């Protein structure tokens, strides 16, 4: 029996989408809600619903509980509750990993949660990993940038947005990423946060990969 089948007996409907229900998923929702501003919590839930729906529409076999946990917890590193000197995806991935491990998931499923959160803003890699990582990344990307927007039927999109409205997400998310660029710019040189810093943060400057390469201690 697959992990997805194991929890499929109990479901719930959110935003018109039928998704798996388990005590661990409910605890993940509570954690995301308690850590996140409302716009960010809604983004996490919509990302889950989009990921779940993309999987259903394309009949992609996957561990639905792993997708749920990963989507719900993927942006914890952008909240004020999670601090650290590393890039925000890694900080969030460590929190999600501990949550999953304490929730009783085996190490393979725990690793999938960590990989998904750590790579959630790196689709050029995440799309080539396991189905859970790729699906979750697709759901996040759909809500973040509208990628594969047309795959979701219009009435379903309307239902999801009505139950979990965006709450001025573009402003809120940009502010959160700019906070990262301001407080720890050294973590933004090789990820999308750099673009936000360059566009919105005065005097922002991240290390250049070219400088790092050319200034390495080797003669040639």
What local confidence, expressed as pLDDT, does residue 90 receive? 96
What local confidence, expressed as pLDDT, does residue 19 receive? 96
State how far the alpha carbon of 131 is from the alpha carbons of 135, 161, 220, in Å. 6, 25, 42
Predicted confidence (pLDDT) at residue 130 exceeds the cutoff of 70: yes
pLDDT digits (tens, 9 = 90+) for 52-111: 999 999 999 999 999 999 999 999 999 999 989 999 999 999 999 999 999 999 999 999
Helix (H) or strand (E) holding 128: none
Q: Per-residue confidence at 213, pLDDT binned at 50, 70, 90?
A: confident
**Mean pLDDT of all residues in the chain?**
92
pLDDT digits (tens, 9 = 90+) for 155-200: 999 999 999 999 999 999 999 999 999 999 989 888 889 889 999 9
Predicted confidence (pLDDT) at residue 123 exceeds the cutoff of 70: yes
Closest CA to 67 of 80, 76, 54, 57: 54
Predicted confidence (pLDDT) at residue 9 exceeds the cutoff of 50: yes
Contact 53, 152 (CB under 8 A): yes
CATH code for residues 3-166: 1.10.3210.10
Domain boundaries, the chain: 3-166, 168-220
Rounded to 5°, angle at Cα 159 from 131 and 141: 35
Closest CA to 138 of 46, 219, 26: 46
Q: Which tokens go with 201? A: 């943060």
This prediction's pTM = 0.91
């Amino acid at each position: 029996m697959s992990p997805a089948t194991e929890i499929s007996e109990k479901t719930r409907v959110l935003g018109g989408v039928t998704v798996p229900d388990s005590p661990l998923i409910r605890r993940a929702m509570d954690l995301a809600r308690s850590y996140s501003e409302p716009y960010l919590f809604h983004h996490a839930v919509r990302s889950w619903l989009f990921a779940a729906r993309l999987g259903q529409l394309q009949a992609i076999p996957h561990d639905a509980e792993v997708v749920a946990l990963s989507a719900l917890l993927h942006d914890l590193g952008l909240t004020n509750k999670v601090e650290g000197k590393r890039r925000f995806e890694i900080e969030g991935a460590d929190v999600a990993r501990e949550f999953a491990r304490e929730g009783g998931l085996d190490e393979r499923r725990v690793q999938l949660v960590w990989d998904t959160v750590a790579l959630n803003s790196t689709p050029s890699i995440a799309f080539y990993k396991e189905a859970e990582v790729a699906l979750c990344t697709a759901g996040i990307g759909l809500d973040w940038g509208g990628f594969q927007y047309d795959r979701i039927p219009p009435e379903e999109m309307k239902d999801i947005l009505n139950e979990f409205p965006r709450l001025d997400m573009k402003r809120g998310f940009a502010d959160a990423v700019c906070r990262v660029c301001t407080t720890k710019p050294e973590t933004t040189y090789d990820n999308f946060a750099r673009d936000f810093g360059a566009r919105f943060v005065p005097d922002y400057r991240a290390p250049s990969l070219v400088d790092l390469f050319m200034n390495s201690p080797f003669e040639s």
